[in-house]
Structure 1
Amino acid sequence: MKFIVDLFMHTKKEKGDWAETLAIDYLEQRDFYILATKYRFQRAEIDIIAISDHKIWAIEVKYRSTQDFGNPEEFFSKGQESRLIDAIAHYAEQNAHDGEVTIGVIGINPNTHGTYDIRFTELEIDNNFESLTSS
């Protein structure tokens, strides 16, 4: 069974944009307020920056059309994590946010029921960004 995203969206960017829209809807339904999308700092791009309960989230969205090689969120590397930490630290500094900051990964893939599975995982990070915010 082909899914709409796979039938009508041909480029990786189109699929990524669609997955990010789906992730935003998912977050907003869970009382997250979206602060920014596609935030760039140096070599990093944060797909979604959101706030919930005074905590700022840098959220990476991963989509895969199959689970043949595992869940999409399993493709989030340590290098990506390091770049996201630098980028969210910069965002927090630029926006005078001194509260908690964290990173999340949303994995999206089709399931056998013709809909999509969405998994949201919070990553454990050190919130001491003083050594990370050099530009």
Structure 2
Amino acid sequence: MASHNELGKKGEELAVTFLKDKGYTILEKNYRYQKAEVDIIAKKNNTLSVIEVKTRSTDYFGNPQDFVNPKKIKLLVAAIDNYVVEKDIDIEVQFDIIAILNKNNKVVIQHIEDAFLHF
């Protein structure tokens, strides 16, 4: 496995642990729909959180969350639209980003809730 894939997989594992510690219930990991992949679908209270995990080993080219582009957002929205219909879910949905920077063996995790409101 390429090192960037390993970093991404490790980031998703860290994100799951982080979310569980914050009281989220993990419903799905790596949910696929057409060309989209949702990293994590979780629930807390009456909110379904669609979570994109971005992990980087450097912030030289920008913060991890800066790499979520409009095309990715469109794919995530289509995927979660399908998911809520498929599972017959009727609760509030929010899109979050978990940005993980693993720089010099120090891990910094930032949870940006309702992240797409900022685009």
Tell me whether the two structures share a fold, i.e. TM-score over 0.5. yes
Using CA pairs below 8 Å that are at least 6 residues apart, which structure has the higher relative contact order? Answer: 2
Q: CA RMSD in A?
A: 1.5
Between the aligned partners of 2:65 and 2:77, the Cα distance in structure 1 is 17
TM-score, normalized by length of structure 2? Answer: 0.90
1:6-21 map, 5 Å: 10-21=2-13
Counterpart in 2 of 1:54?
A: 46
TM-score by length of 1: 0.80
Choose from 62, 67, 73 the match for 1:75: 67
Q: For residues 71 and 94 of structure 2, what CA distance do their matches in structure 1 show?
A: 16
Report the number of matched residues: 116
Q: Secondary structure at the match of 1:85?
A: helix
Deviation at 1:111, TM superposition (A): 4.7
Match runs of 1:82-101 below 5 Å: 82-101=74-93
Equivalent residue for 1:119, pick from 101, 110, 119: 110
> In the alignment, which of 62, 66, 75 is matched to residue 58 of structure 2?
66
Larger Rg over CA atoms: 1
2:36 aligned to which of 20, 33, 44: 44
Shift of 1:10: 4.5
Give the Cα–Cα distance (whole angstroms) in 2 for the partners of residues 53 and 124 of structure 1: 20
Which residue in the other structure is 1:107 paired with? Answer: 99
Q: Structure 1 residues 21-30 or 103-112, which shifts more? A: 103-112
Report which of the two has the higher share of helix. Answer: 2
Report the residue type matching 1:120 in the other structure: H
- The structure whose residues are more often strand, as a share, is 2
Unaligned runs of 5+ in 2: none
Shift of 1:40: 0.2
Cα drift, residue 12 of structure 1:
2.2
